[in-house]
């Protein structure tokens, strides 16, 4: 797939997620669900940080060959933090609905829109994380 097509598809997908969240606020005249955008935008950051730390580590510092497949404590913490943020992004509108601060339609639209935003960011990272070394002639 062409990278330009990927960017166009992902931007349309992201715009639909933001549209659902903003409509959940505007249609019901209650802007408390805007916090969902912030939570789902921050959710992939711990995994990005843990992957960059893991990629910068040298393999000669590992003494055991069985350590190659085991995740580091930093990776485990970052995955737990990402999971916590995703669950918080889903639970916040449900809590607002339970306390009668927002209505059911706003709850559903904000949860679906937030999940679309998170999935879009994750797919964007996955699409463009391919190594560019395939076209490198010298491979230094």
CA 46, 124, 56, 63 dihedral sign is positive
Of residues 56 and 43, the one with the higher pLDDT is 43
CA 58, 62, 68, 73 dihedral sign is negative
Stretch among 54-58, 110-114, 117-121 having the lowest mean pLDDT: 54-58
State how far the Cα of 42 lies from the Cα of 48, in Å rounded to an integer. Answer: 11
Whether 118 maps to a domain, the answer reads yes
Per the structure, the count of domains in the chain is 1
Whether 139 maps to a domain, the answer reads no
Task: Supply the pLDDT for residue 137.
Answer: 52
- 10 with 127: CB under 8 angstroms? yes
Of residues 57 and 51, the one with the higher pLDDT is 51
Whether 84 maps to a domain, the answer reads yes
Task: Supply the pLDDT for residue 133.
Answer: 46
Burial class, 122, CB count within 10 angstroms (exposed 0-12 / middle 13-18 / buried 19+): middle
Buried b / exposed e over 91-111, threshold 16 CB at 10 Å, is: ebbeebbeeeebbeebbebbb
Task: Supply the pLDDT for residue 56.
Answer: 67
Q: Is the pLDDT of residue 48 over 50?
A: yes
Q: Model confidence over 88-100: pLDDT tens digits?
A: 999 999 999 999 9
Q: State which H helix or E strand residue 94 sits in.
A: helix 73-98
Range of the domain at 122: 3-54+70-129
């Amino acid at each position: 797939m062409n990278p330009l097509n990927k960017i166009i598809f992902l931007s349309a997908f992201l715009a639909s997620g933001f549209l659902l969240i903003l409509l959940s606020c505007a249609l019901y005249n209650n802007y408390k669900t805007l916090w969902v955008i912030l939570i789902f935008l921050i959710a992939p950051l711990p995994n990005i940080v843990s992957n960059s730390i893991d990629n910068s580590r040298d393999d000669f510092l590992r003494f055991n060959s069985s350590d190659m497949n085991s995740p580091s404590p930093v990776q485990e913490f970052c995955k737990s933090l990402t999971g916590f943020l995703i669950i918080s992004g889903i639970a916040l509108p449900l809590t607002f609905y339970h306390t009668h601060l927002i209505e059911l339609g706003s709850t559903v639209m904000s949860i679906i829109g937030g999940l679309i935003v998170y999935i879009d960011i994750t797919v964007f990272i996955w699409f463009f994380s391919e190594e560019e070394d395939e076209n490198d002639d010298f491979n230094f």
